[in-house]
Amino acid sequence: MSEIKVYQEILGRNDRKAAENRKALSGAFCMNIMSSPGAGKTTLLEKTLKTLKKKYLIGVIEGDMATSNDAKRLRKFARPNTIYQIKTENFGGGCHLDADMVSIGLKKIGLPKKKYDAVIIENVGNLICPADFNLGEHVKIVMLSVTEGDDKPLKYPVIFKAANLVIISKIDLLKHTDFSLKKARSNIAQVSGKIPIIELSSYEGVGFMQWIITLVNWLKNSGY
């Protein structure tokens, strides 16, 4: 069997499992957040949980190659037993989450029984491989930090094409880089078409309310 055929079979099986995950979510709205390593996904989730945990029941599946550091960080801001860490090294060193891993995570946070408002999946830090693997999510979010450069949407088009929302993060560092928001927006439009873009600084708070409003609107209008 050729390598390409093996890969297609893997993706086909993954899509079937992703459909099962969608059912197991039991009406919870599910987001898959992807970015390069260190773009600020976990920091945004810390603040998101802190802001919304009283009103909404939110679960998080954390993905990393190694360590449970991110789950530990999030548990400080979350309700008990709502955070689960997947270490992909236990599944052969994977460079992305797949639907099988997420199905384990969903069970670990109590689904399908527990009635979550939202489940957030923080993918492994990688701008390439996660794009190919549906997890059962309703939306895919790509985060791009200004320190990575405004050219990245053109260089990693597959993941930006798959995105429903792009968050440009660390804009507090804009003045110290040669990143152009105008160029970045134009490059995102070139590969992703007309999709919403949020400019965010988790440190300074800029854009954070726009993110929260986007998320709450998704929850309200979802009917998932």
**Nearest to a copy of itself of 21, 201 (CB atom):** 201
Residues at the contact surface with a copy of itself, assessed by CB under 8 A:
1, 3-4, 6-7, 10, 36-38, 64-67, 69, 89, 92-93, 95, 124-129, 145, 147-149, 151-152, 154-158, 170, 172-173, 176
Rounded to the nearest whole angstrom, what is the least distance from the CB of residue 25 to a copy of itself in the complex? Answer: 27
Identify which of residues 7 and 27 has a Cβ nearer to a copy of itself in the complex. 7
Given the complex with a copy of itself, which of 27 and 37 has the nearer CB atom?
37
Closest contact distance (angstroms) between CB of 166 and a copy of itself is 14
What is the smallest separation between the CB atom of 44 and a copy of itself, expressed in angstroms?
A: 14
DSSP string, the chain: --HHHHHHHHHHHHHHHHHHHHHHTTT-EEEEEEESTTSSHHHHHHHHHHHHTTTS-EEEEEEESS-SHHHHHHHTTS-TT-EEEEEGGGGTS-SS--HHHHHHHHHHTTTTTS--SEEEEE--S-SSGGGG---S-SEEEEEEEGGG-TTHHHHSHHHHHH-SEEEEE-GGGGGGS---HHHHHHHHHHHH-S--EEE--TTT-TTHHHHHHHHHHHHHHH--
Tell me whether residue 53 or residue 161 sits nearer to a copy of itself (CB atom): 161
